[in-house]
Amino acid sequence: MSKSEAEQRLQLLASAAHLGHARVEGLYAEWAEYRGAGGRAFPLNLRIAGGRVYVAKNLSGNARIRVGDEILALDGAPAGRWLARTGRHISAETPDLANSILEYDFPMYLWVEAGPKPSFRLLLRTPGHAATRTTIAAATTAEMDRNATGQPQGLDLDHPLRDARSLGDGIGYLRPGPFYNDQAKTAADEWDVSAFKAFIDGAFRMFDREGVTKLIIDLRGNAGGDSLFSDVMVSWFADRPYQFFSSFKVRASADAIAANQERLEHDAVAAGPISRRFATLYARARPGAVLDFELPPSLPNPTEHFGGEVFMLIDRQTYSNAVAVAATVQDYRFGLVMGEPTADMATAYGAMEHFTLPVTGAVIGFPKARIIRPSGDPRSRGVTPDIAIETPIILTSDDEVLQRARAIALHH
């Protein structure tokens, strides 16, 4: 086997654990290399809802396919069977979490499962019409970029990545973006919180000037990051000390200890105080022992505070630390959580580390800790919103969900 083939085979073993943080790394780099060399791929983006598959974006150049069409079959097999076949390569606690990832990466996982293909046969159904068959050609990145021209523009939560503004009537809107430094040039820069803090502090001061008394914080599509960043935001409206967990238990192992020591020796800035705490914990532990990892509570902002109401907006693609933020706000009653349930877990195995297999060189990620949400709920499940807002199959640039959230905040 090639290294890539070996990694894909090993990933099937890792994904069988049904843990999002147990996985074989490398696939995204291999996919980028394939696409960068002109590799052709499935030219549709998906929206998956209730086990049914819809066209979210048409990059095929085939005008017969419309956004919102349901994909009934692909190459003669039902769409649901393709979700199962591609989803088996994904490390995820639940099918819903795997499907939320497939909405981003279905072309990549189809390539892993079926290999390069020149074309794809589709059975489609437009709402209110009979099913029709069509064939689309696989496309390069350049071809997809050209085919995107003139396509309907759906909701784009990445441009700008961070956003703060007044919506009028005393309502503010904050999209903090990911909880890491997205402008990082080095690994150490990734955890430089200064620019993020300047943005958050400036946003809350602007809300004060604008007379904002109700704030919508948008965590939809948020990849997460680190509490070093999210605490900067939460501290503005927290009314008492808080933690993002009620229990944080770590299993000591040779691989976890070695990974932590590697960070401390070669990237001390990125490692920071958390890795030093782990080193102290490991120093008195035998391999296999389960240890309680302790952190001091995070504190409210000592000098400035937002005293208005907070409404946190989440969706199926709120991930990782962003889920922990939503759970913290809900469990400490710092605000109301709105939207749709997260697919990612609020109580989960995480605090990921890595080791390298000696023959293939494959990098393996594994979770070293079990982290239980602040409420103490041990169930492996996402954050369920206090106020449900149904997400349309296809979100337009009008952002119907935000409009509904604004109406709820206005009359709350």
Stated pTM of the model:
0.95
Q: pLDDT tens digits for 78-114?
A: 999 999 999 999 999 999 999 999 999 999 999 999 9
Q: How open is the CA angle 350-271-226, to the nearest 5 degrees?
A: 45
Q: Are 382 and 345 in contact (CB under 8 A)?
A: yes
User: In the chain, what are the domains?
Assistant: 40-148 (2.30.42.10), 163-411 (3.90.226.10)
Q: pLDDT tens digits for 116-130?
A: 999 999 999 999 999
Q: pLDDT tens digits for 378-396?
A: 999 999 999 999 999 999 9
Rounded percentage of the chain residues whose pLDDT exceeds 70 = 99
Question: What is the pLDDT at residue 289?
Answer: 97
Question: What is the pLDDT at residue 269?
Answer: 66
Q: pLDDT tens digits for 304-344?
A: 999 999 999 999 999 999 999 999 999 999 999 999 999 99
Question: What is the pLDDT at residue 189?
Answer: 80
For residue 237, the Cα-to-chain-centroid distance in whole angstroms is 24
Confidence of residue 260 (pLDDT cuts 50, 70, 90): very high
Mean of the per-residue pLDDT values of the chain: 95
Greater model confidence, 266 or 69: 69
Query: Distance between CA 212 and CA 7 in Å, rounded?
Result: 51
| Neighbouring residues of 128: CB distance < 8 A, sequence distance ≥ 6 | none
Confidence of residue 270 (pLDDT cuts 50, 70, 90): low
Question: Cα-flanking dihedrals φ and ψ of residue 317, to 5°?
Answer: -110, 25
Q: What is the mean pLDDT of residues 141-153?
A: 90
Query: Distance between CA 308 and CA 207 in Å, rounded?
Result: 10
Confidence of residue 152 (pLDDT cuts 50, 70, 90): confident
Q: pLDDT tens digits for 290-306?
A: 999 999 999 999 999 99
Question: What is the pLDDT at residue 368?
Answer: 97
Q: What is the mean pLDDT of residues 11-21?
A: 96
Question: What is the pLDDT at residue 231?
Answer: 97
Can you give the length of the chain in residues? Answer: 412
Question: What is the pLDDT at residue 185?
Answer: 78
Question: Cα-flanking dihedrals φ and ψ of residue 175, to 5°?
Answer: -110, 100
Least confident of 167-171, 191-195, 305-309: 191-195
Largest CA distance in the chain: 68
